Amino acid sequence: MTKTDQHLTVAMPKGRIFTEALHLLKEAGFAMPEEMAENSRKLTVEVPEEGFTFLMVKPVDVPTYVEHGVADLGVVGKDILMEENRDVYELLDLNISPCRVCVAGMPGRGPSLNPKVATKYPRIADRYFREQGQQVEVVRLNGSVELAPLIGLSDRIVDIVSTGRTLRENGLVEMEEIAHVTSRLIANRASYRLKRTRIDQMHQQLTVAVHGEGVFK
């Protein structure tokens, strides 16, 4: 095999998921260097011993890098996969960074005549409320979503919740769970075929790390 057959470029989200994914890779038997701190400013990290290049990108961009083939693999939250709906292989649930996508709002607030929902996930929100048979106006925000119901920009929000602390501190309550979210290993369509041996091998090692021996047949 040539170098290009073996080398894998992996798009990694900066932040908490990266730390957990790195831990998982070590458990799966990959020799990851110790100094790969999550707060490094480097945009690419080479691990030549294992034949990896990591691209450090914004979580929401991970599926884009993978779909366009500049990364062979990626690690990304299911929330982003649901929102972005990219043409990639979803290979493995890594079971890390668990949280949920929820509808939240002010307690005791009655139904509104012109319901508005603020969210970073307009497609997830739109799809969910349609399935519920509700027509709502979706307001797209890029952060501090919890503020929207407090100041009357929206009635409810759709956001990810892990401990629920941010909601409580802002006087909001969780109303409905839309989806349970964990991080996934995703693959580019062409890479999945052309670097199949290597990706299958990594897939298998990670499966054992996630579920223990005997699950992967």
Partner 1 sequence: MAKPREFEKPTGVRDFPPALVAKKKWVEQRVGERFRAWGYREVITPALEYFETVGKASAIEEHKLFKLLDSQGRTLVLRPDQTAPIARVVATMMRKESLPLRLCYHGNVFRAQEREAGRNAERFQSGVELVGDDSPEADAEVVALAVEALTACGVENIRVSIGHIGLLDALLKEYLPDPEVARLKDSLGRRNLVEFRERVQALELTESNRERLLSLLTIRGGREALDRLGRHSHTEAVTAAIFHLQAMWDALQDWDVADAVDLDLTLVGSLEYYTGMYFEGYGAKGSYLLSGGRYDQLLEQFDRPSPARGFALKTDQLLMASSGGEDRPERVALVYPRRWRRQACRTASQMRREGKNVAMFVAETGVYPAEDAFDRVEEVSGHDENRSAPDGGDA
Residues that bind partner 1 (CB under 8 A): 4-5, 69, 72, 87-93, 184, 188-191, 193-194, 196, 200, 216-217
- Tokens in use for 16? 């908490």
Cα distance between residue 149 and residue 159, in whole Å:
13
- Tokens in use for 25? 């890779």
User: What is the three-class DSSP state of 110?
Assistant: coil
Q: Are 74 and 18 in contact (CB under 8 A)?
A: no
Least spacing, CB of residue 27 vs partner 1, in Å: 19
User: Which of residues 168 and 196 has its CB atom nearest to partner 1 in the complex?
Assistant: 196
Strand-pair partners of 137: 116
Least spacing, CB of residue 84 vs partner 1, in Å: 9
Least spacing, CB of residue 89 vs partner 1, in Å: 5
Least spacing, CB of residue 64 vs partner 1, in Å: 9
User: Which of residues 43 and 190 has its CB atom nearest to partner 1 in the complex?
Assistant: 190
User: Which of residues 52 and 89 has its CB atom nearest to partner 1 in the complex?
Assistant: 89
User: What are the two backbone dihedrals, phi and then psi, of residue 30, each rounded to the nearest 5 degrees?
Assistant: -90, 135
User: Which of residues 19 and 182 has its CB atom nearest to partner 1 in the complex?
Assistant: 182
User: What are the two backbone dihedrals, phi and then psi, of residue 208, each rounded to the nearest 5 degrees?
Assistant: -65, -40
Q: Are 175 and 123 in contact (CB under 8 A)?
A: no
Least spacing, CB of residue 72 vs partner 1, in Å: 8
User: Which of residues 76 and 172 has its CB atom nearest to partner 1 in the complex?
Assistant: 76
User: Which of residues 150 and 190 has its CB atom nearest to partner 1 in the complex?
Assistant: 190
Least spacing, CB of residue 37 vs partner 1, in Å: 29
Selection from 93, 97, 99 nearest residue 206 by Cα:
93
Selection from 5, 11, 13 nearest residue 66 by Cα:
11
